């Protein structure tokens, strides 16, 4: 995983270094060592790194199943709103443009209490063969 991060950094910094115009803007949306509940992010698991990028659309009034993530992941709300709740009664309100560094190995769910679909783009830094998300009801992962 460290090699992957170094490679991405080198490619990105090299590409940006070659740009000389004023037509480029880079905005850091999130850079963090902690999840939204204030806990330090764990180390990456051993194994073959596998990056997944999901666009998740949640209809108005929909509550996601209780679930947890075993891998580091982060997202950006593209549209709508989403409220995330943990079993410890922690709550995070998200609206379009907000970012989230998800909680790891902590049961939680999200609910779209708005009147339009919520869209969130989520990036998972996982391991090949390991589920990014596990639901409590079924114990299955995806």
Q: Which of 18, 78, 73 is nearest to 41 (CA)?
A: 73
Q: E-assigned strands of the chain?
A: 49-58, 67-69, 72-79, 81-86, 91-95, 99-101, 108-111, 118-127, 133-135
Q: In what order do the strands lie in the sheet with 49-58?
A: 49-58, 118-127, 72-79, 99-101
pLDDT band at 7 (very low <50, low <70, confident <90, very high): very low
Q: Is the pLDDT of residue 19 over 60?
A: no
Q: Look up the pTM and report it.
A: 0.79
How far is the C-alpha of 59 from the C-alpha of 115, rounded, in Å? Answer: 8
CB contact at 8 A, 82 and 58: yes
List the domain range (segments joined by +) for residue 95: 29-135
Residue 10 backbone dihedrals phi, psi, to 5 degrees: -65, -45
pLDDT digits (tens, 9 = 90+) for 73-124: 999 999 999 999 999 999 999 999 999 999 999 999 999 999 999 999 999 9
- Residue 10 included in any domain: no
- Residue 142 included in any domain: no
pLDDT band at 71 (very low <50, low <70, confident <90, very high): very high
Alpha-carbon separation of residue 38 from 33, 63, 74, 102 (angstroms): 9, 24, 14, 10
- Residue 24 included in any domain: no
Q: Give the domain CATH number at 89.
A: 2.60.120.10
- Residue 89 included in any domain: yes
More confidently predicted of 62 and 6? 62
């Amino acid at each position: 995983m460290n090699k992957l991060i170094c490679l991405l950094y080198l490619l990105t910094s090299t590409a940006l270094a070659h740009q000389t115009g004023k037509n480029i803007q880079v905005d850091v949306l999130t850079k963090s060592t902690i999840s939204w509940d204030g806990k330090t992010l764990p180390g990456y698991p051993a194994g073959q790194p596998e990056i997944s990028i999901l666009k998740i659309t949640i209809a108005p009034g929909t509550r996601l199943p209780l679930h947890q993530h075993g891998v580091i992941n982060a997202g950006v709300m593209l549209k709508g709103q989403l409220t995330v709740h943990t079993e410890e009664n922690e709550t995070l309100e998200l609206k379009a443009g907000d970012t989230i560094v998800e909680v790891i190995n902590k049961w939680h769910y999200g609910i779209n209490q708005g009147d339009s679909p919520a869209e969130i783009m989520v990036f998972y830094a996982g391991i090949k063969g390991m589920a990014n998300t596990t639901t409590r009801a079924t114990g299955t992962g995806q």
